[in-house]
Amino acid sequence: CREIAPLTLEINRLKREKDAVILTHSYVEPEIIYGVGDFKGDSYYLSEKARESKAKVIVFAGVVFMAETAKILSPNALVVVPDRGSGCSLADSITGEEVRRLKQLYPDATVVCYINSTAEVKAESDVCVTSGNVYDIVANLPAKRILFVPDRLMAQNVRAEMKKRGVAKEIISSDGTCVVHDEFTPAQIAEARAQFPGLKVVAHPECTPEVAAVADFVGSTGAMLSYVKTTNAPYFLMLTECGLVGRLEVEAPEKNFIGGCRLCPYMKMNTLEKVRQALVAPRPEQIITLDEGLRRRALRCIERMFELAP
């Protein structure tokens, strides 16, 4: 506490001096979220905040694709990341060049990219989606054939949801997966249910379709948070990154969580010390820069999401 408190105070002072805001994803450490963050939430909410921001500096405590998205939406701000190594197994699974090759194979497909993708991939896509709006956006697209990148498991979940809704879509996908969410299994859920009667299982759409099929609720981290806060149950099993459980333990202390969540090594690269350093004197690799032509093309696909999102 003696180390965290002065650092927290210093970062809050630096924010005022530099006209900076700190956007924090729910997976980062609580001392960042609650100690220095201005906004906390999921990818969609944080994109909205980046788009509305008038601040000179945006520090993105999340992962690099989120900071790139902030730069696409707020090009005049200096956008910095605490750690340039904070990648994402989904975003890093496919390049813009590979998307171009897939587009040649499926020229009649509408290209839908999950927001967990690089600016290059967004620039090649027709519309961006997040975990909170993916089903509704895909269902309402006029195209029958969808090329979905980069999450293979989310694509499978979309396929199952379209079938459930009676919407005819052919979903073709690339092969990325999230290193956190692809590890959860139906057997783990069955075991937990046997041990904890009345348990509610809450999963993210990056989980496998087998997991999604037996969960009580599937949604974005923002929707998972709301579901737990508004649902009466003796226990919850959270099939997502442990940071979300951390947030719920603070914001809904009356709820009981049983083990299951996993750590994202990329999100956990964010520390208060690195946030301070990124504010004081960001190194070149911590500053997000994008070619203007590429940024404008990537912006089109994100703006399309804002138009189509429910």
The option from ligand 13P, ligand SF4, none interacting with 220 (CB < 5 to 8 A, set by class) reads: ligand 13P
Of the two residues 57 and 63, which places its CB atom closer to ligand SF4 in the complex?
Answer: 63
Q: How far apart are CA 187 and CA 248, in angstroms?
A: 25
CB 44 within 8 A of CB 309: yes
Q: Return all residues near 300 (Cβ < 8 A) that are at least 6 apart.
A: none
SS3 sequence of 256-304 = CEECCCECCCCHHHCCHHHHHHHHHCCCHHHECCCCHHHHHHHHHHHHH
The residue from 32, 67, 171, 178 that contacts ligand SF4 (CB under 6 A) is 178
Least distance from C-beta 29 to ligand SF4, angstroms?
Answer: 14
Listed residue (99, 53, 69, 67) closest to 266, CA to CA: 67
Site stretch for ligand SF4 (CB under 6 A), options 83-91, 102-110, 270-278, 285-293: 83-91
Q: Cβ of residue 190: shortest distance to ligand SF4, in angstroms?
A: 24
Tell me the closest approach of the beta carbon of residue 99 to ligand SF4, in angstroms.
18
Rounded to a whole number of angstroms, the minimum distance from the CB of residue 115 to ligand 13P is 7
- Partner that binds at residue 248, options ligand SF4, ligand 13P, none, CB closer than 5 to 8 Å by kind: none
Using alpha carbons, select from 201, 155, 158 the residue that is nearest to residue 178.
Answer: 155
- Cβ proximity of 148 and 173 under 8 Å: yes
CA distance 13 to 188: 46
The answer to whether 113 touches 131, Cβ cutoff 8 Å, is no
Contact indicator for 175, 152 with CB cutoff of 8 Å: yes
- State in angstroms the smallest separation of the CB of 19 from ligand SF4: 28
Two structure tokens written together for 112: 């839908």
* Binds ligand SF4 by CB under 6 A, chosen from 143, 160, 167, 179: 179
Please enumerate in sequence order all residues whose Cβ is within 8 A of that of 170, keeping only pairs 6 or more positions apart, or say none. Answer: 144, 145, 146
CB of 17 to ligand SF4, least distance (A): 30
Residue 41: left if φ>0, alpha if ψ -120 to 50, beta else—which one?
A: left
**Is residue 81 at the binding interface for ligand SF4, with CB under 6 A as the rule?**
no
Closest contact distance (angstroms) between CB of 107 and ligand 13P is 30
Query: Segment 50-69, which members bind ligand SF4 (CB under 6 A)?
Result: 63
43 binds, among ligand SF4, ligand 13P, none (CB under 5 to 8 A by kind): ligand 13P
Nearer to ligand 13P, 85 or 234 (CB): 85
Q: Does 252 bind ligand SF4 (CB under 6 A)?
A: no
Binding mask 262-281 for ligand SF4 (x = CB under 6 A): --x-xx--------------
- 180 lies in the site for ligand SF4, by CB under 6 A: yes
Interface positions with ligand SF4 (CB under 6 A):
63, 88-90, 116, 178-180, 206, 241, 264, 266-267
